[in-house]
Amino acid sequence: MKKEVVVEEFSGIKLRIYRYGSGSPSILITAGIHGDELTGVYAAYKLIEHLNNTEKMDGTVKIVPVVNILGFLARIRHNPIDHVDLNRVFPDGMGSTVTKGIIKTVWELASSSDYVLDLHCAGHYSYPYILSVYPDYDYVKTFVDNISWHVSIESSGQRGQLFIEASHQGIPGAIIETVGGRGYYMKRWGDELFKTILGTLNNLGILEYGEADKGKKHYGKLKRVKSDYEGFFKPYIALGQEVAEDDVLGEINGNIVKSPISGIVLGVAEGTYVFKGESLARIAESI
């Protein structure tokens, strides 16, 4: 069922909310809170299409496929009229009446849910991962263990984010960071994310999906490997690969770059020119 909620009276800007099933457990799935992260939006619309043709459900799925409506229209991260990052101002909002109206509506949906899953993109040269404060709360870890994806990392816990504020309120929340961003979506990873969501809904007992997988590995926080050099980085490592401390990550202008930690490679500065102090790779630390 589709509902449109006016989030700001003067402009009449509307938020699209889709709701399927009834009763508990209930999950809120959001995407496009950063308006340029389109792979999550693609997966959310694919889920809507799927649920439009699903008869048997045990629980409620609420979907907001595009949270940052104006940012999405402009294919940019922030709300273009006040430059607010919507995923920094929960639960009270900030800036324009449009931002405040969106935050209020989404927070009400989150507050009346048992779980919150927010879909993001971490760039085109990244590997998907679940982000949460799983070490802080058992109920968050239980939720993350039900998410049908094999890489889980610890969030920095920065306040104002939807999944963080929900988690502190006793509603387990997590982000899935997938591949894409800057106004482009990656079909392959969007299709994979869609399967991950169906697997998660299966694990939560909301609907049946045969390919669900609960196996996963938890890692610590994401560390950036900063460059001491300037030039084109040539990575020797693959995304999603595990590395040990001092393993060679690649080279830049003939200089070898080694990994300062052991962990899993979730992002690489591939296909770009890197300046001194910029990130060459993002690695989540093994625990």
Residues that bind Zn ion (CB under 5 A): 34, 37, 120
211 residue type, one letter: E
Dihedrals φ, ψ of 139, to 5°?
Answer: -70, -25
33 residue type, one letter: I
Cα angle at 72 between 114 and 16, to 5 degrees?
Answer: 45
Tell me the CA distances in angstroms from 83 to 8, 34, 46, 68, 87, one per residue in order: 17, 11, 29, 11, 12
Q: Of 144 and 249, which has the nearer Cβ to Zn ion? A: 144
The distance of closest approach from Cβ of residue 142 to Zn ion in the complex, given in angstroms and rounded to an integer, is 24
The distance of closest approach from Cβ of residue 211 to Zn ion in the complex, given in angstroms and rounded to an integer, is 26
The distance of closest approach from Cβ of residue 62 to Zn ion in the complex, given in angstroms and rounded to an integer, is 20
Q: Of 194 and 233, which has the nearer Cβ to Zn ion? A: 194
C-alpha gyration radius of the chain: 19
Task: Calculate the dihedral angle through the C-alpha atoms of 266, 271, 274, 279, rounding to the nearest 10 degrees.
Answer: -10
Dihedrals φ, ψ of 96, to 5°?
Answer: -70, 165
Q: Of 59 and 180, which has the nearer Cβ to Zn ion? A: 180
94 residue type, one letter: M
The distance of closest approach from Cβ of residue 178 to Zn ion in the complex, given in angstroms and rounded to an integer, is 10
The distance of closest approach from Cβ of residue 31 to Zn ion in the complex, given in angstroms and rounded to an integer, is 10
Q: Of 122 and 252, which has the nearer Cβ to Zn ion? A: 122
Q: Of 196 and 202, which has the nearer Cβ to Zn ion? A: 196
Instruction: List the structure tokens of 217.
Output: 């590995």
The distance of closest approach from Cβ of residue 122 to Zn ion in the complex, given in angstroms and rounded to an integer, is 8
Instruction: Please report how the helices 187-203 and 38-52 are oriented relative to each other, as an axis angle in degrees rounded to 10.
Output: 50
Cβ neighbours around 253 below 10 Å, total? 12
Q: Of 17 and 31, which has the nearer Cβ to Zn ion? A: 31
Closest CA to 43 of 117, 150, 146, 115: 117
The distance of closest approach from Cβ of residue 154 to Zn ion in the complex, given in angstroms and rounded to an integer, is 17
Q: Of 26 and 87, which has the nearer Cβ to Zn ion? A: 87
Per DSSP, the residues of 112-124 read T-SEEEEEEE-BS
